[in-house]
C-alpha cells in the first residue's frame, strides 16, 4: 500500500467534510474548498477521520491513492489553520508595496510591476530600514498560494553572482565566483 495513502486524515473540530459522489467539499473557519476525486479511489468518513482505499494495485491507482490523501490533508489544514509564504526582495533599489489586493514591485526594470493578487490570498509588504522588504502571503488554499508565490518569484529570480532578486524567506542560493583576476 501507499505509505501516504493508508494513513488517515483527522478532521479537527469546526471543520465540516461532505462527500457528494466524486466531489469532496471541506468547510472550516478560514474558508471552503472542494476537490474532484478519481473513481479509482474511495474515501470513508467516520468518527472525525477520513480513510482512503483504492480498487487495484496498478501503478496509476497507487499514485492517485497517495495524491488524493495529500490533497485532502492540505485542504483540511488550510481551512482550519491556513498557510503562509514569505518572500524576500533583495537588491539595491528593489521595493515592494501593497495597496489592497495589488502588489507593486520595483525590481530594477524601467517600470514598476503591478501584480494583482487573487481575493483568496491576503498580502502584506513589510519594509524596515536596513533590511530587505518582505512580502507575506496568507491563504487557506495551499495550491493557489504556492502558484502565486512562484509567479512573484519568477518576476526576478535570484541570480547566482550577487544574489539579487525575489526569493523565499530562508532559501539558500548557490553562489558562484565572479570573473578571475585581470590580465598579467
Specify the residue for cell string 486524515.
9
161: which 3 cell numbers?
Answer: 553572482
- pTM of this structure: 0.88
Neighbours of 167 (CB within 10 A): 19
For the chain, the domain total comes to 2
Residues 48 and 113 in one domain: no
pLDDT at residue 86, rounded to an integer = 96
pLDDT along the chain (184 residues), means of 10: 80 92 92 92 90 90 91 94 95 93 94 94 92 94 96 94 92 87 58
Neighbours of 124 (CB within 10 A): 13
pLDDT at residue 94, rounded to an integer = 93
pLDDT at residue 6, rounded to an integer = 85
The residue range of the domain holding 14 is: 3-80
Q: Is 54 exposed, middle or buried (0-12, 13-18, 19+ CB in 10 A)?
A: buried
pLDDT at residue 3, rounded to an integer = 81
Nearest-angstrom CA–CA distance, 60 and 103: 40
**Does residue 62 lie in a domain region?**
yes
137: CATH = 3.90.930.12
pLDDT at residue 1, rounded to an integer = 47
Residues 73 and 96 in one domain: no
pLDDT at residue 184, rounded to an integer = 57
Query: In the listed set 80, 98, 113, which residue is the last one of a domain according to the structure?
Result: 80
Please count the residues of the chain: 184
Amino acid at each position: 500500500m501507499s505509505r501516504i495513502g493508508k494513513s488517515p486524515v483527522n478532521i479537527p473540530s469546526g471543520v465540516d467534510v461532505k462527500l457528494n459522489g466524486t466531489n469532496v467539499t471541506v468547510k472550516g473557519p478560514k474558508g471552503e474548498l472542494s476537490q474532484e476525486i478519481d473513481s479509482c479511489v474511495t474515501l470513508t468518513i467516520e468518527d472525525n477521520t477520513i480513510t482512503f482505499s483504492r480498487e487495484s494495485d496498478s501503478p496509476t491507482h497507487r499514485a492517485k491513492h497517495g495524491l488524493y490523501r495529500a490533497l485532502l490533508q492540505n485542504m483540511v489544514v488550510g481551512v482550519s489553520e491556513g498557510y503562509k509564504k514569505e518572500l524576500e526582495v533583495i537588491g539595491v533599489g528593489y521595493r515592494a508595496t501593497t495597496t489592497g489586493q495589488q502588489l507593486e514591485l520595483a525590481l530594477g526594470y524601467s517600470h514598476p510591476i503591478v501584480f494583482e493578487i487573487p481575493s483568496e490570498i491576503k498580502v502584506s509588504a513589510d519594509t524596515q530600514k536596513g533590511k530587505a522588504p518582505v512580502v507575506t502571503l496568507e491563504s487557506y488554499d495551499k495550491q493557489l498560494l504556492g502558484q502565486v508565490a512562484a509567479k512573484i518569484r519568477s518576476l526576478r529570480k535570484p541570480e547566482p553572482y550577487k544574489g539579487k532578486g525575489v526569493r523565499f524567506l530562508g532559501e539558500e542560493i548557490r553562489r558562484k565566483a565572479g570573473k578571475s583576476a585581470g590580465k598579467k
